[in-house]
């Protein structure tokens, strides 16, 4: 039974069926980009990320137009959780303006993007 209150009064629904398909072939996605904090940020933010296996990775920041703002880290690392402090500056060391930016983590078999917000 489902009970709903509307402006027109109270409505009762019986035998409300809900079906959510969950194919066995789909498994939950593991997030490799963990939440940065603070977000939004004004001066700097700590970025945490997880590497599920040994290998190469690239961690970059892009603006809303898809332009590369900063290459934060790249190379090879062992499996594990890592963090770094980003000072909100671009490749040339200039402070970036407030706005929406995208953090991108790429490994050999995974790409993940997360939105971060820089305050003015």
- Total domains in the fold of the chain: 1
Q: DSSP readout, the chain?
A: -EEEEETTEEEEE-S--------TT--PPPPSBPPPBSSSBSS-EEEEEEESSSEEEEEEEEETT--EEEEEEEEEE-SEEEEEEE-SB-TTSPBPPSEEEEEEEEETTEEEEEEEEE--
Confidence of residue 111 (pLDDT cuts 50, 70, 90): very high
Domain range spanning residue 102? Answer: 32-118
* pLDDT of 30: 67
Task: Look at residue 92 in the predicted model and tell me its pLDDT.
Answer: 97
Q: In this predicted model, what pLDDT tens digit does every residue of 32-79 receive, in sequence order?
A: 899 899 999 999 999 999 998 899 999 999 999 999 999 999 999 999
Residue 20 counted as domain residue = no
* CATH code, domain carrying 61: 2.60.40.4070
Q: 0.75 exceeded by the pTM?
A: no
Banded pLDDT at 24 (limits 50, 70, 90)? low
């Amino acid at each position: 039974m489902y009970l709903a209150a509307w402006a027109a009064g109270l409505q009762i629904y019986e035998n409300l069926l809900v079906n959510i398909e969950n194919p066995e072939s789909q498994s939950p996605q593991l997030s490799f980009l963990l939440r940065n904090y603070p977000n939004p940020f004004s001066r700097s933010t700590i970025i945490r990320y997880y590497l599920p296996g040994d290998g190469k990775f690239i961690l970059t920041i892009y603006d809303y137009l898809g332009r590369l703002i900063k290459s934060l880290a790249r190379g090879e690392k062992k499996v594990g959780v890592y963090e770094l402090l980003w000072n909100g500056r671009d490749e040339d060391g200039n402070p970036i303006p407030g706005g929406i930016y995208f953090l991108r983590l790429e490994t050999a078999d995974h790409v993940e993007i997360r939105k971060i917000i820089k305050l003015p």
